[in-house]
Structure 1
């Protein structure tokens, strides 16, 4: 829909009637894109207010840009990536320029190749790269009208792209009735009705009667200046009705009035023409060949349908298009149910099942007057294809409709379980509960009921970490045992992980006992079998009994199949920690990150990054750890799901910046405590204990450490014990210290690793005197020096130096204190460094207070530092973009700013500007050779 433009007086069109400011904004948007910048804009407002006219304006203004246009269609909302396909079809020849995982993702979702479901954010990244690549040739304008009717998969992908645009010469402009959920936060332009003067002008252009000023004012007021209403409402009214003002006496809402205007025009058309309009309304693509073939099935010919025209409501060109989306909805809703069934059936019959089986299945479903097993089966197959293309919401919709059309009760129960599971994955928990209830109601076997209850339990856990979820999962696991051994064992392990995450001691014990009672694995135990046995033994029989099995599990986890990493790998993150194997911990965590990246499972990536970030803190590579935090934050911003602050807590505590750390610790304790998340509280208390020990505030460190050592959590509760021992020893509470030392010995001695033995020796030395203490401190330093745990080694030197000073061995004390001080400074542990400096001063040595002096890198923003670290480690611009969800051109843009801030001119110089931690490779860098190159590109 368009309406007249106003003129500058010299014949030059300067914009739409009454839309000077809106057109100026759009002009500025196009100018920015011409200058090499990117823009995104959501143009929103009521139906008929002129959004499409503004989109037409910006498209016509951008005559030197390449324009891609797509339209959301209401009846196509359940077909995954339908709108995205419309938009990207002209660019498919450029898929070959994308990195292989991104190319494969788009080829899969567009049906070019078969494959497993790519993650939605990998698809978004692929679209970003595709648009960026296309804009290298010519600036790009992407227009999506009726965005409120985009399918969810397309909306998520395009919303992701719009948030990541920066320096690609791409504009992405949406027209929508409302700001859709997936487009929230984007720049927006609200379009309201025309002002009185412009509305008068437009109304005069379509009325032939002289209107009384009061009547004119009333019409403008009642239409609220809506251009489509002003153009459409006078249609069909007599001169008398218009002049007298009686044509607007009905009380419908404005969209209802506009639609009623269209309905009146539709009713005046011949039957054959109305049927043609109905077929076109039910056909979402606008393919004239398909429309006419379906029309022929119903006996509608061009001659009979178009003899008198369509009153401007429908036009045939390369595509079949309606005058306005309200025409489509008016046509469809005004038709009888029987006519709608007939139209969809005709469309199904002319849709090629080999080319577009899913759209055919959807038409068949819309044509079904009642339950129909053949159609339900088709929908079930379509759900599988949709899920393979990454369209979880579409898969859920297909399965939900399949359930409604299923006759056989038992089969309906199976399909309802699948629908509940897909709906849960799609994020609609309320609908998932509904279909889980249907599955439970219709179940005809114990196995069906157990599967229904499994979905219910997972929903309960996903909804709000429900404290009842572990016991629910345990019950389901027991019920599944007779029917599906592997599913039962996976459920047991997930139940164990849920109880550990909730720090639920009773559930953890009950689940562990149940896992111990499982039949022994036949043949060579798999990783799943070893993890189940080891985790169960850890709780029921103690660490000494569990360690041999857990060590075998660590070996098996190194080659864990990707399917298992993605399905239950989150539960076993602490297996290597349980046996104090720091090398295996870094290896397993690094591999998990690479697996989820390769698989494109970016929703799982924050959990894996958290594990890798924690591993980086243990070795003192704070830059790499901070990079994982930044990457996880990037993903959280893209997905809208906040991550756990565990790595941030650990980093802030080790750095020792009290104000920053205390604020984060307090906020986490408050939020996690209110949500009943004991794990979050425990990690925060552990961080507080580390912070206060570094600051020498032992009276505060001791209760914090105590709070984190008595939760039913097998890892954090042990990691906090050395903090409790050190604080209690300094406070002079020997009983608390010795009780904690006994627990630490039980956890560390069976493992017999340098990490375990080093920490245990250091802790024992704190409670020893004379020669035994000296031997223990030396043993601790010797053991920890064999590891890469630099913070723990530095702390061993500090404690030994403090002990030597008190023993009046000042010269040797200075050596160890100086070593500790230099190590703490190089790592960035400011509070511990200051503690070491004070001890050095007490030995009589003059020590100039040093901090991490400001460097040029401090001027970098967090994202710039993240990019700089990755480039320093040899990543190319496309590789950096893949990790950070940026296009290569945006990475290049950031890199130029980084070079300016660091006063360097090449990528090689980043190695000197941002040196790695001593003997500590970046945790962010994968193994293998890295390309060299000096340009910002």
Structure 2
């Protein structure tokens, strides 16, 4: 853009014009501009804001490198003009935004709750006129703003909101990954020459012009800035050789030369404006007065178009800010920070004041260090772990006392780890260890290293460091020791068959060494500035996400304790050391206790234990309560785990569409947060749905990943998935081989299901002896469990392997047990097996009844492979099968079905949006589509329009 006119960019302008038409029509759009520095992204965003016109509301924010550690800073900048709509949000969402933005005190809000609140705020603000929200320089956003805005962008629907980002490329391509993108490249040669001609001081040799266009690759900022400050001789004879420096660096150097030509006081004005990232003009003037600089000093910079000081401080490009900052002398930089600290109201903005004070001192300063530590506490209260880490690191640099310095560094490392910045942790811990650590600090370092190893590589290598840390903590911090023992047990369970020796070692240690119940929380979890303890993903099943931060396993009694966590630890160690029968009493008592008093933070172990003990009566309410708690609180750490385990029980019930919806939600959530979802979460679902080749590819991916990271339990999950898929397809020999291999090791919550698949596959493939052996191994568990679920599973196994005269009776008893246990999928499979047996017995009429029951059940569930197997058997029994639309082929999408179920339960649009992380306007839009599909006009008609 030159002289207010955008050169070229026809494709980009057409894209923006379509986007504005879309939001004016009631739709929402998200778009990411990617391009190198200076390529014109900001000019394009300016064009969009201009084109929006008076009928569209516009709000803008930009990432600032200096402020990238201040939690929610960019988000607050974007939302500040919209806070007039805050009162329209539900109370818990209002509180989340107010706390995150520092408008009021409160408990740290979960990022998901803040994200939902921001989504609602944008939607409400767009209620009267469409809204365009522009976020420039995303590569410099603080982490929390990036996470929240990515989350919001993925959930826009029918709010009349456009959320437009610009991000520098090349860079971290994971930023905003998966959102619609508009690559922004250089101008075509003709446009580049016209733009260059508009700023050249006079005639230039055509070869020099071609050289400039070639070297800048059509980059508009480079075309405008590189010729400035060059002498006529330089323009006449070129740049003096090919410049191989990165273009952004060369453009910034041009700005530096222009800044260097300004008067000294003007340069200081630019430096102060660069250091003060909020763009507060009155604050800048107050700081300049303290520096003895008058308003007139800014005029040369404004005349040179290097800064705009109207309503807000604004640089024409981030590289100008960067150049001004980097060109500042160290003494000048300290003076500017000191002036800004003095000009900042300590009551209104104590954290930025502390940050400026910290950079104004040239040596240790305990008073400033204490301020920074207080700022870290406030940052943690807002959920800003990255900001807390930055405050703590700087506090450590200003602290003389070695012990205090070490504590601050360890707390900073913990905050970085909780924020997901794992690369920062080892160096901080290494620096901390260079001081004299006391015993508790040594234990903190060891525990953090062990948990970090578990997160980064949750295989068998993570277990020994966790066990060592637990032993060191045993006398120093009993509560933390129990947590760490249980995490070590979790790591060992995850390694499973790949390190059975260590599994037994860690179980013995937990059983004999873990502190008893009632030990208080100690200084380890009460250090100033500490973030919640890291919880290890390896301490859970392969198909779950990380346990809830701050709600770690093991916070109750150890062996012999009667709280849920203590009972789980007692039962799991007994399961490992003494077998199923010895473990059952404690594990069942733990499940009973959790049903009485839910503890969502224990879900990572409670759900697999409920599965292991065949306790549908516990599995269902425990997962439902945990998912409800995660949604109500917006718990980012708990929700993925809750979604994964809730999908498992829904699959057991035969509600595959609902299970798929939760699995998809978990995947979208993990993608929005910038982390990959482990595919094992979807293996079982894909196997039962019979999706080929997707299910097989997922299993292969899990096996490759598990082998690389020594995660033996994941091998069991993948083997079970392969066996279930092959049984559904009727490929019994393949199912037999997969199940036999997987059942060689008793993985928690996987072994019994795998034995069931092995019995069916072996019996149908002609391996009678193997089938009988698997049925006997299964009986060792089902007889002890004694639930309807267990008895039904065993009755099916016995029918497949027992004498012919008892087959039908055992299948019928299995169906009775599954009806009592709510096992829709198991019941359908039993009808299929009974129907197949009846057909082989030449009882074709009876066979068709059972097979038809199975076929219709599988079809309505969306279990395509099993439905196909039932259809083939029906055809063999002499019945023509008319293919029935499956659940997945009904008119309503999975998301529409979720909305309809909640609407029929009497939930308002706001409540539905809160449950499904959608804005109320998007819920309303979906309901209108549902009404159109079903031919109705109101919610009251939903019940009669749907089965």
Is residue 437–residue 452 contact of structure 1 (8 Å, CA) maintained in 2? Answer: no
* Cα deviation code 1:370-421 (max 9, x no counterpart): 3333333322322222222222222222233333333222222222222222
Q: Secondary structure at the match of 1:141?
A: strand
Q: CA deviation at 1:590?
A: 0.7
Is residue 505–residue 712 contact of structure 1 (8 Å, CA) maintained in 2? Answer: no
In the alignment, which residue of structure 1 is the partner of 2:654? 620
* Cα deviation code 1:237-267 (max 9, x no counterpart): 56x5477457877956654554444444434
Change in 2 beyond 3 A, CA 1:619/1:265: closer
Q: Distance between the aligned counterparts of 2:830 and 2:673, measured in 1?
A: 42
Change in 2 beyond 3 A, CA 1:20/1:634: closer
* Cα deviation code 1:764-811 (max 9, x no counterpart): 344433766666555444433322113334444555566677778888
Change in 2 beyond 3 A, CA 1:212/1:630: closer
In the alignment, which residue of structure 2 is the partner of 1:632? 666
Which among 424, 448, 454 is matched to residue 455 of structure 1? Answer: 448
Q: CA deviation at 1:174?
A: 3.0
Is residue 146–residue 177 contact of structure 1 (8 Å, CA) maintained in 2? Answer: yes
Which among 365, 385, 388 is matched to residue 392 of structure 1? Answer: 385
Q: Distance between the aligned counterparts of 1:32 and 1:816, measured in 2?
A: 52
Establish whether residue 607 from structure 1 lines up as the match of residue 606 from structure 2.
no
Alignment of 1:92-131 (within 5 A): 92-131=83-122
Change in 2 beyond 3 A, CA 1:899/1:387: same
Q: Distance between the aligned counterparts of 1:212 and 1:802, measured in 2?
A: 88
Q: Which deviates more, 138-147 or 208-217?
A: 208-217
Q: CA deviation at 1:110?
A: 0.6
Which among 143, 146, 154 is matched to residue 145 of structure 2? Answer: 154
Which among 915, 924, 935 is matched to residue 892 of structure 1? Answer: 924
In the alignment, which residue of structure 1 is the partner of 2:890? 858
Q: CA deviation at 1:450?
A: 1.9
Q: Secondary structure at the match of 2:175?
A: helix
Establish whether residue 468 from structure 1 lines up as the match of residue 461 from structure 2.
yes
Q: CA deviation at 1:579?
A: 2.3
Change in 2 beyond 3 A, CA 1:296/1:519: closer
In the alignment, which residue of structure 2 is the partner of 1:41? 31
State which structure, 1 or 2, has the greater radius of gyration over its C-alpha atoms: 1
Q: Distance between the aligned counterparts of 1:879 and 1:598, measured in 2?
A: 10
Q: CA deviation at 1:348?
A: 1.5
Establish whether residue 74 from structure 1 lines up as the match of residue 73 from structure 2.
no
Is residue 16–residue 23 contact of structure 1 (8 Å, CA) maintained in 2? Answer: no
Q: Which deviates more, 198-207 or 100-109?
A: 198-207
Is residue 281–residue 328 contact of structure 1 (8 Å, CA) maintained in 2? Answer: yes
Establish whether residue 521 from structure 1 lines up as the match of residue 517 from structure 2.
yes
Change in 2 beyond 3 A, CA 1:401/1:860: same
* Cα deviation code 1:583-631 (max 9, x no counterpart): 1110001111112222212353222212111111222222322222232
Alignment of 1:458-607 (within 5 A): 458-503=451-496, 504-517=499-512, 518-521=514-517, 525-558=562-595, 565-566=600-601, 568-607=602-641
Change in 2 beyond 3 A, CA 1:37/1:820: closer
Change in 2 beyond 3 A, CA 1:377/1:625: same
Is residue 439–residue 449 contact of structure 1 (8 Å, CA) maintained in 2? Answer: no
Q: Distance between the aligned counterparts of 1:647 and 1:232, measured in 2?
A: 52
Is residue 440–residue 476 contact of structure 2 (8 Å, CA) maintained in 1? Answer: yes
Q: Secondary structure at the match of 2:332?
A: helix
Q: Secondary structure at the match of 1:142?
A: strand
Is residue 19–residue 162 contact of structure 2 (8 Å, CA) maintained in 1? Answer: yes
* Cα deviation code 1:487-531 (max 9, x no counterpart): 111111111122222324223212221121135436973221111
* Cα deviation code 1:269-303 (max 9, x no counterpart): 44333333322221111222222222232333336
In the alignment, which residue of structure 2 is the partner of 1:23? 13
Q: Distance between the aligned counterparts of 1:774 and 1:598, measured in 2?
A: 47
Alignment of 1:475-874 (within 5 A): 475-503=468-496, 504-517=499-512, 518-521=514-517, 525-558=562-595, 565-566=600-601, 568-646=602-680, 648-656=682-690, 661-731=695-765, 733-769=767-803, 776-777=810-811, 779-796=813-830, 799=833, 827=861, 829=863, 847-853=879-885, 857-858=889-890, 860-864=892-896, 866-868=898-900, 870-871=902-903
Q: CA deviation at 1:112?
A: 1.6
In the alignment, which residue of structure 1 is the partner of 2:155? 164
TM-score under structure 1 length normalisation: 0.87
Q: Distance between the aligned counterparts of 2:729 and 2:198, measured in 1?
A: 78
* Cα deviation code 1:830-873 (max 9, x no counterpart): 6556666777788xx75343543368953555545555555555
Change in 2 beyond 3 A, CA 1:681/1:908: farther
Q: Secondary structure at the match of 1:182?
A: coil
* Cα deviation code 1:690-736 (max 9, x no counterpart): 34444554333322222222224122112222232333344554543
Q: Which runs of 5+ in 1 are unaligned?
A: 6-14, 916-937
Q: Distance between the aligned counterparts of 2:314 and 2:395, measured in 1?
A: 31
In the alignment, which residue of structure 2 is the partner of 1:135? 126
Is residue 241–residue 247 contact of structure 1 (8 Å, CA) maintained in 2? Answer: no
What do you get for the CA RMSD once the two structures are aligned?
3.5
Q: CA deviation at 1:463?
A: 1.2
Q: Distance between the aligned counterparts of 1:830 and 1:226, measured in 2?
A: 53
Establish whether residue 4 from structure 1 lines up as the match of residue 36 from structure 2.
no
In the alignment, which residue of structure 2 is the partner of 1:348? 341
* Cα deviation code 1:868-905 (max 9, x no counterpart): 55555555443443344333333333444444445554
Q: Which deviates more, 70-79 or 30-39?
A: 30-39
Change in 2 beyond 3 A, CA 1:800/1:854: closer
Alignment of 1:203-352 (within 5 A): 203=196, 205-206=198-199, 209-232=202-225, 235-236=228-229, 240-241=232-233, 244-245=236-237, 251=243, 255-302=248-295, 311-352=304-345
Q: Distance between the aligned counterparts of 1:551 and 1:53, measured in 2?
A: 64
In the alignment, which residue of structure 2 is the partner of 1:411? 404
Q: Which deviates more, 193-202 or 95-104?
A: 193-202
Q: Distance between the aligned counterparts of 2:695 and 2:898, measured in 1?
A: 21
Is residue 459–residue 709 contact of structure 2 (8 Å, CA) maintained in 1? Answer: no
Change in 2 beyond 3 A, CA 1:667/1:856: closer
Q: Which deviates more, 152-161 or 447-456?
A: 152-161
Change in 2 beyond 3 A, CA 1:807/1:297: same
Q: Secondary structure at the match of 2:150?
A: helix
Change in 2 beyond 3 A, CA 1:19/1:103: same
Q: Distance between the aligned counterparts of 1:635 and 1:604, measured in 2?
A: 12
In the alignment, which residue of structure 2 is the partner of 1:933? none
Change in 2 beyond 3 A, CA 1:819/1:364: same
Q: Distance between the aligned counterparts of 1:421 and 1:672, measured in 2?
A: 27
Q: Distance between the aligned counterparts of 1:248 and 1:907, measured in 2?
A: 74
Q: Secondary structure at the match of 1:574?
A: helix
Change in 2 beyond 3 A, CA 1:701/1:34: closer
Q: CA deviation at 1:41?
A: 3.3
Is residue 658–residue 894 contact of structure 2 (8 Å, CA) maintained in 1? Answer: no
Q: Secondary structure at the match of 2:460?
A: coil
Change in 2 beyond 3 A, CA 1:858/1:410: same
Q: Distance between the aligned counterparts of 2:844 and 2:894, measured in 1?
A: 43
TM-score under structure 2 length normalisation: 0.86
In the alignment, which residue of structure 2 is the partner of 1:51? 41
